[in-house]
Amino acid sequence: MKKINIAIDGPSGVGKSTISNFISKKYGLKFINTGSFYRAVAYYFYEKYNKNLELIANEQFVLDNWKIEYISLDENGNVLLQNKNVSDKLRMDEISWWASYVSKYKIIRKQIVDFLQAYAAKNKGIIMDGRDTTSVVLKDAELKIFLWASPEIRAKRRLKQNKELGYSSDYEQLLNEIKKRDFQDMNREHDPLYKTEDSVLIDSTDLTFEQVTEKVSSLIDERVKDE
């Protein structure tokens, strides 16, 4: 199969990573989750400063104590923090929430976007997901998808996921956090979340995982045929 680059965008908790991971294995693509980079920054401060994530609310403190060189990618697209794979540490709700602070800082965003664009320029056959992937990070991708689902459905899915991972969560709290995150992502000053004109909208609110992957697969097959 001809290799193309695919960008999947959408709000928090919509299933971008789960869908992208499945598709990457089906088509032999390298999966990169852009949100993991911001979570890695948050996790760095979480670990180094005794779980005091409120420090991230101070932009100057973040800029003074962070270096993009701390991050790298392994051969499978996993994010390494100071050469250590921390992928399994980055999905905690508090890390995800505080990563939204990091993503507001223009210099941090530029560092990560530059890193990802340089990586994508050297490689073909990438599926990349994350907010602003279609509009900024991988804007020249052959296929762009904007994945959506209602906040209520996303909260239910996150509740189920956390339960399976052994985390205790409250539905109303999750729903509240998702709505706050949506507002923050859509209204931030730098690179806000939105659907680009050349992105295909897939509303997964009433769709099963299988139905979503079928739609994505169909779009990939069409793009590959056209290449």
Q: Is 10 annotated as a binding residue?
A: yes
Which residue, 215, 76, 79, is CA-closest to 143? 215
Q: Is 77 annotated as a binding residue?
A: no
- Using H for helix, E for strand and C for coil, what is the string for 90-118? CCCHHHHHHHHHHCCCHHHHHHHHHHHHH
16 is in an annotated binding site: yes
In this structure, the strands spanning 71-73 and 79-81 are antiparallel
Residue 36 is assigned to a ligand binding site: no
Residue 29: alpha-carbon gap to chain centroid: 16
Report whether 100 belongs to an annotated binding site. Answer: no
Residue 213 known to bind ligand: no
What string of DSSP letters covers 44-58?
A: HHHHHTTT-GGGGG-
Q: Is 15 annotated as a binding residue?
A: yes
What lies within 8 Å, CB to CB, of 199 at 6+ separation is 7, 9, 134, 144, 145, 146
The DSSP output letter for 120 is: H
Question: Which residues carry a binding-site annotation?
Answer: 10-18
Question: Which residues carry a binding-site annotation for ATP?
Answer: 10-18
